[in-house]
Amino acid sequence: MSPTHSRPAHDAAGRFAPSPSGDLHLGNLRTALAAWGFARTTGRRFLLRVEDLDRVKPGAAERNVADLRAIGLDWDGPVDHQSRRIPHFLERVQELTAAGLTYECFCTRREIHAAASAPHGIPGAYPGTCRHLTEEQRARRRTERPPAVRLRAGVREFTVRDHFAGEFTGAVDDMVLVRNDGTPAYNLAVVVDDAEQGVDQVVRGDDLLPSAPRQAYLAQLLGHPAPSYLHVPLVLGPGGDRLAKRDGAVTLRELQDLGHSPEDVVTWLASSLGVAHPVRTAAEVLERWDPGTWSREPAVFEPWDAAGD
């Protein structure tokens, strides 16, 4: 039996965790529908968690929630907001610090970029510049710039299992846990929340597959098992790049302005996932749920005409 269909613990959960940086586009809605479907067809609770620690656009969270409801999704318990748990995330970092597993980092973005693109650097990975500063050096640097807090990673890579991608090994670097403005970083918050909210099934876009190894490693350090991962292929725009605003009407509201209903959107989302028969509602998606038959290729969005033309 695949991990997805094995019997979950009775309080196990799946989730959708949007960053409220703008309206959800068809790719985000499709991921949400998939996450909801996987949770609902495996007896899990489904949680909606707004990841509002950064990149927040005023009003976007409320609009995200309304759009998810409009396409027929439901969730267990109230909508959750990460910004309400900042002290809790920082406490978990203090525990790691007490165990000697963090260090302060004073690097600017530019310094990190220069060091990471040096020969033998892992592309995009932090090269560990501040790992070995002496206490004296740190004291001096603190007067120049507030530090970020990084994980002192004990491995350089880690392996996870993904329902779609199979075994996947990816880089683990000294990731930022607390940004230098004092805000907990995404990788920390997502791991702490998934672990503590009973999330054992993570369904999200496959742009985040490369982050899964470092997140699973961090979960292990915090004493939690890694969740099952299901990274679904993204929706691409007609040009082959990831779907974006420039591709035309791509949000529920924009499509509604063209005369399309939420049911039309569900029909598109379901068929682009690979649901075999045309369906109109999220409930019908569950009736036709057969992810073994879904395409592993990204879906391509073609601009929609105005309804009725």
Instruction: In angstroms, give the least distance from the CB of 262 to ligand GLU.
Output: 21
Residue 235 per-residue DSSP state: E
Q: Is 307 annotated as a binding residue?
A: no
Q: Is 114 annotated as a binding residue?
A: no
Instruction: In angstroms, give the least distance from the CB of 51 to ligand GLU.
Output: 4
Instruction: In angstroms, give the least distance from the CB of 290 to ligand GLU.
Output: 23
Instruction: In angstroms, give the least distance from the CB of 215 to ligand GLU.
Output: 8
How many angstroms separate the Cα of 132 from the Cα of each of 137, 151, 154?
10, 13, 14
| CA–CA separation, 128 and 308 (whole Å) | 58
Q: Is 18 annotated as a binding residue?
A: yes
Nearer Cβ to ligand GLU (18/298)? 18
- By DSSP bridging, strand 299-300 and strand 176-178 are unpaired
Q: Residue 182: name the closest of 113, 108, 104, 96 by CA.
A: 104
| CA–CA separation, 242 and 93 (whole Å) | 34
Q: Residue 26: name the closest of 260, 180, 244 by CA.
A: 244
Q: Are 80 and 94 a contacting pair, CB within 8 Å?
A: no
For ligand GLU, the binding residues (CB under 6 A) are 17-19, 51, 190, 204, 208
| CA–CA separation, 285 and 146 (whole Å) | 49
User: What residue type is 38 in one-letter code?
Assistant: F
How many angstroms separate the Cα of 106 from the Cα of each of 75, 130, 237, 276?
41, 7, 38, 53
Q: Is 51 annotated as a binding residue?
A: yes
Nearer Cβ to ligand GLU (60/190)? 190
Q: Give the tokens for residue 279.
A: 């369906």
Q: Are 164 and 231 a contacting pair, CB within 8 Å?
A: yes
Instruction: In angstroms, give the least distance from the CB of 75 to ligand GLU.
Output: 14
Q: Residue 186: name the closest of 18, 96, 53, 14 by CA.
A: 53
Instruction: In angstroms, give the least distance from the CB of 120 to ligand GLU.
Output: 30
Q: Give the tokens for residue 62.
A: 């409320």
Q: Is 15 annotated as a binding residue?
A: yes
Q: Is 245 annotated as a binding residue?
A: yes
How many angstroms separate the Cα of 258 from the Cα of each of 265, 307, 308?
12, 6, 9
| CA–CA separation, 295 and 274 (whole Å) | 6
Nearer Cβ to ligand GLU (173/284)? 173
Nearer Cβ to ligand GLU (204/260)? 204
Q: Give the tokens for residue 132.
A: 């070995």
Q: Is 92 annotated as a binding residue?
A: no
Nearer Cβ to ligand GLU (51/173)? 51
Nearer Cβ to ligand GLU (105/190)? 190
Q: Is 95 annotated as a binding residue?
A: no
Nearer Cβ to ligand GLU (115/208)? 208
Instruction: In angstroms, give the least distance from the CB of 212 to ligand GLU.
Output: 9
Q: Is 158 annotated as a binding residue?
A: no
Binding site as annotated, residues for Zn(2+):
105, 107, 126, 130
Binding site as annotated, residues for L-glutamate:
15-19, 51, 186, 204
Binding site as annotated, residues:
15-19, 51, 105, 107, 126, 130, 186, 204, 245
